[in-house]
Chain A
Amino acid sequence: MSLVLDHVSYIYGEDTPLSMKALNDICLEIPDGQFIGIIGHTGSGKSTLVQHLNGLIKASRGHIYYNGEDIDGKEFDKKKLRSNVGLVFQYPEHQLFEIDVFSDVCFGPKNLGLPQEEVEARAKEALAQVGLSEEFFTQSPFELSGGQKRRAAIAGVLAMKPQVLILDEPTAGLDPKGRDEILNQIKKLQTETGMTILLVSHSMEDVAEYVDRIIVMNQGSVMFDDEPREVFRHYKELEEVGLAAPQVTYIMHALKEQGMLVDVDVTTIAEATEEIVKCLETLH
């Protein structure tokens, strides 16, 4: 059970004067249950990449395999792929439209042709997964706060029971608490249900905190693909392509320059706290 990209390229407007290569020979393997962060500056190909994974965009070259089957093969059921690989777009709350939260979340499973009972059971489960309690079920989605709207929209995708969940900047525009709430809930989903998560993000701090693996995109190619501390070790190269390391990594580098013997590959506040405390203790 996995997604495999085999030499995938994508060219916009191929055979026209405006043709532009958006993805360039991408080879990736996405095994089950991983929490993956995808980072890259605007226009680096992140969104184009994730839209290939549920068949919204068809690769110009190369193949994509879902559980060993070519998703562009004649026999392949694309509709099933779209419910197995759920994609939450940027600002998904713009896609809310039903009169109340519960009906909105029911919309997806209802379209799968499931019996009403199953539809409602799924909607309830999905809303619980994003932490929206029953008091919200009958409210209009438009009366919720920004963070709640976002969670209702994510529930709509979860109700399709995807095995892979892709989120394109799910925290843009949310307040810090709202950011933490959404990311904690996604992390919980991954650990409790074994769902594969792909998180497209502009926040290096969030990525460092939550993911097991980071894929760095640059000019349509994979620039790095490794665990966070390995990727952020290349912070100078990341800066050259419009990215950065988490602020805490820079602090560790500055401390080291001042002669403190700290591990500079630290990427989270918790790790940095331990590291500095340890370093100070050995001194005293």
Chain B
Amino acid sequence: MGIIKAKDVIYEYMRRDEEGNVEGITRAVDKVSLDINQGDFIAILGHNGSGKSTLAKHMNAILYPTEGTVWVDGKDTREEEELWNIRQSAGMVFQNPDNQIIGQVVEEDVGFGPENMGVPTKEIWERVEESLKAVGMYKFRKHSPNKLSGGQKQRVSIAGVLAMHPKCIILDEPTAMLDPNGRKEVIRAIRALNDVEKITVILITHYMEEIIYADKVYVMDDGKIAMQGTPREIFSQVEKLKSLRLDVPQVTLLAYELKKRGVDLPDGILTTEELVGALKQNRKG
């Protein structure tokens, strides 16, 4: 069993009218099964309302399945006494950094999690230091979070989760509100956590170019897993992705358009280097 495993997970919620009468039942997650290996970089794509955030909230016991089971680090998320262990193993980062930062000083904010876990003071400081270093924010440790840019704030949020020593970190559209530079900083920090610290990463995003380095991509639609595979396998299916309201990175789209015009190129080109290389071959041939 991997770090996160879901088996036949269904999540339903009741829609109520103003008097509180049940109007109907919406199934947000529909029989999803997946098994995520420790250390993997996983991406989840899907249009607005496809169920991806609802699924993600099952991964650290914010929501519980209506049917089926979710295990985090081998623990069933419905076992109440394991709740804090689960949340410590699987940390979550949300879209808006301003909703996640509570401290007046960066290092204080990052120390909040371990302090609540009852970690001894000396160790808290060690954890704060290593977490801030891991996201490249150590030199801002004495700053007020208010004065940071969006990308910096989001990296502080990630450090806050890191300080709890999770095995897995789930990020729900962490770059949606950031400018290009902030986006780059955050993605670089996330990749470093995965590469260097070997933390399992589950990244939910609408930016296709952010996930070309993922080990595996799940695409959700209507509460189900509609596609899964490596980024190359997924991004080779341009038409199918478009029918699911998604897209491919610009370089993949350019290669696809060129292919349609008769240029001989392989499917699923993911980087500029690949396209340039393939076009070079083309000129020789």
B-contacting residues of A (Cβ < 8 Å)?
40-43, 143, 145-147, 172-179, 202, 204-205, 242-244, 246-248, 250-251, 254-255, 258, 260, 269-270, 272-273, 276-277, 280, 283
Contact = CB atoms under 8 A, between A and B. Distances in A.
A170 to B, nearest CB: 13
Given A242-B180, A273-B261, A175 B48 contact: yes
B181 A243 contact: yes
B263 A276 contact: yes
A276 B272 CA distance: 14
B276 A254 contact: yes
B47 A173 contact: no
A258 B253 CA distance: 21
Contacts of A41: 149, 179-182
A40 B253 CA distance: 26
A272 B276 CA distance: 13
Interface in B63-86: none
Interface in B26-50: 46-50
Given A243-B181, A273-B261, A280-B263, A174 B48 contact: yes
Contacts of B245: 175-178
B267 interface: no
Interface residues of B, number: 43
Given A42-B182, A146-B48, A146-B49, A260 B246 contact: no
B149 A43 contact: yes
Contact of B47 (A177, A243, A277): A177
Contact of B250 (A40, A174, A246, A254): A246
B261 A173 contact: no
Given A41-B149, A242-B179, A276-B279, A175 B250 contact: no
A276 B49 contact: no
B176 interface: yes
A244 B180 contact: yes
Interface string B131-174: 00000000000000000011100000000000000000000010
A243 B151 CA distance: 13
B178 A42 contact: yes
Contacts of A143: 15
B102 interface: no
Contact of A177 (B149, B242, B276): B242
Interface string B221-260: 0000000000000000000001001110111011001100
Contacts of B272: 247, 250-251, 254
Given A269-B257, A280-B279, 10 more contacts: A42-B149, A173-B95, A175-B206, A177-B245, A178-B48, A242-B149, A242-B182, A243-B179, A247-B249, A248-B250
Given A251-B251, A269-B250, A173 B206 contact: yes
B254 A251 contact: yes
A174 B176 CA distance: 9
B263 A258 contact: no
26 contacts: A41-B179, A41-B180, A145-B49, A146-B48, A173-B173, A173-B206, A176-B206, A176-B245, A204-B180, A242-B179, A242-B180, A243-B181, A244-B180, A247-B209, A247-B251, A248-B254, A251-B254, A251-B276, A254-B272, A254-B273, A254-B276, A255-B276, A273-B258, A276-B258, A277-B258, A283-B283
A280 B265 CA distance: 13
Given A176-B246, A177-B245, A247-B250, A280 B257 contact: no
A201 B49 CA distance: 23
Contact of A255 (B15, B180, B279): B279
Contacts of B263: 276-277, 280
Nearest to B182: A42
A43 B181 CA distance: 13
Interface string B179-199: 111110000000000000000
B105 interface: no
A43 B148 CA distance: 10
Contacts of B47: 175, 177-178
A251 B247 CA distance: 18
A272 B254 contact: yes
A42 B179 contact: yes
